[in-house]
Chain A
Amino acid sequence: MFSLAALSLLTIAGCGSSKITLEDLEAAVAKLPQDNTPVFVADNENDAVTDMLDIEKPSLKFGFIKLTDCAPLVIAKEKGFFQDEGLNVEIEAQSNWKVLLDRVIDGQLDGAHMLAGQPIGATIGFGTKAHIITAYSLDYNGNGITVSNDIWTQMQENDESLKSPTPPHPISAKSLKPIVDSYKQEGKDFNMGMVFPVSTHNYEIRYWLAAAGIHPGFYNKDNITGMVDADVLLSVTPPPQMPSTLEAGTILGYCVGEPWNQQAVAKGIGVPVTTNYDIWKNNPEKVFGVSAEWNEKYPNTHVAVVKALIRAGKWLDETDADGKLTHREEAAKILSGKDYVGADEDLIKQSMTGTFVFQKTDVRPLPDFNVFFKHYASYPHYSDCIWFLTQMRRWGQITESKPAEWYEETAKEVYKPGIYRKAAAMLVAEGKVTTAEIPEGEYDGYRPATNEFIDGNTYDARDPIGYINSFVIGNKDSDEIR
Chain B
Amino acid sequence: MNWRGTALRLCNVAGMPIFEPFVRLAAGEDPKEQFKGIAKFVLLPIVAIALFVGAWSLAAKTVVTESMQLPSPSATWQAGADLFAMHFAQRAEDRVKKDEMLSEAIVFMVQAKSLENQAIAASSSDKETLLANALIYKKKAVQAANYVPSSAPTFIDQIFTSLKTVFFGFAIATLIAVPLGVLCGMSPWFNAALTPAIQMFKPVSPLAWLPLASLVIIWAYSNSQPGETFFEKAFLISAVTVSLCSLWPTLVNTTLGVASVDKDYLNVARVLKLTWSQKLFKIILPASLPLMFAGLRISLGVGWMVLIAADMLAQNPGLGKFVWDEFQNGSSTTYARIAFSVLIIGLIGLVLDRIMICLRNMVSFGNPVAG
Contacts and interface: CB of A to CB of B under 8 A. Distances in A.
Residue among B152, B218, B232, B324 with the most chain A CB within 10 A?
B152
A267 B102 contact: no
Contact of B106 (A28, A48, A92): A28
Nearest to A19: B146
Interface stretch (B11-19, B131-139, B250-258): B131-139
B150 A268 contact: no
Size range of the chain A interface in the assembly: 35 or more
Interface in A1-27: 1-3, 5-6, 9-10, 13, 19-22, 24-26
Contact of B118 (A45, A49, A51, A263): A45
Nearest to A21: B142
A88 B142 contact: no
B139 A52 contact: yes
Contacts, number: 170
B144 to A, nearest CB: 8
Contact of B150 (A88, A95, A108): A88
A13 B98 contact: yes
A89 interface: yes
Contacts of A66: 325, 328-329
A59 B129 CA distance: 31
Contact of A46 (B67, B126, B150): B126
Contacts of A58: 143, 146
A39 interface: yes
A215 B111 CA distance: 67
A243 B234 CA distance: 29
A6 B152 contact: no
A92 B152 contact: yes
A25 B136 contact: no
Nearest to B217: A106
A9 B102 contact: yes
Interface in A102-144: 103, 106-108
B145 A269 contact: no
A93 B325 contact: yes
Contacts of A21: 142
B102 A40 contact: no
Given A48-B133, A51-B136, A25 B109 contact: yes
Contact of B109 (A29, A55, A77, A263): A29
B61 to A, nearest CB: 19
DSSP class of A's interface residues: helix, strand, loop or mixed?
Answer: loop
A244 B146 CA distance: 44
A227 interface: no
Interface string B96-120: 0011001101110111011100100
Size range of the chain B interface in the assembly: 35 or more
Contacts of B333: 338
Contact of B233 (A32, A48, A90, A106): A106
A91 interface: yes
Contacts of B227: 59
A83 B100 CA distance: 13
Contacts of B126: 46
Contacts of A48: 129, 132-133
Contacts of A51: 136
B225 to A, nearest CB: 8
Given A22-B138, A46-B130, A2 B329 contact: no
Interface in A29-65: 29, 32, 37-41, 45-52, 55, 58-59
DSSP class of B's interface residues: helix, strand, loop or mixed?
Answer: helix
A106 B218 contact: yes
B65 interface: yes
A344 B331 contact: yes
B141 interface: yes
A49 to B, nearest CB: 4
A95 B110 contact: no
Contact of B67 (A26, A86, A247): A247
Given A19-B146, A95-B328, A269-B67, A3 B109 contact: no
Interface string B39-80: 000000000000000000000000001111000000000000
A318 B149 CA distance: 28
A240 interface: yes
Given A243-B330, A263-B330, A342-B329, A6 B99 contact: yes
B226 interface: yes
Given A52-B136, A243-B67, A338 B106 contact: no
Residue among B115, B232, B328 with the most chain A CB within 10 A?
B328
B110 A29 contact: yes
B314 interface: yes
B147 A336 contact: no
Ranked nearest first, the 4 interchain pairs of A and B with the lowest CB-CB distance are A342-B329, A267-B67, A240-B328, A339-B152
12 contacts: A25-B105, A29-B106, A32-B106, A37-B110, A45-B115, A45-B118, A48-B133, A86-B143, A88-B150, A95-B315, A108-B233, A341-B329
Interface of A: 1-3, 5-6, 9-10, 13, 19-22, 24-26, 28-29, 32, 37-41, 45-52, 55, 58-59, 66, 77, 83, 86, 88-95, 99, 103, 106-108, 238, 240-241, 243-244, 247, 263, 267-269, 336, 338-339, 341-344
Given A40-B114, A91-B152, A339-B152, 20 more contacts: A2-B106, A6-B103, A13-B98, A25-B109, A28-B106, A28-B109, A29-B110, A48-B129, A49-B136, A59-B148, A88-B149, A95-B324, A103-B315, A107-B225, A108-B234, A247-B67, A263-B67, A342-B331, A342-B334, A343-B330
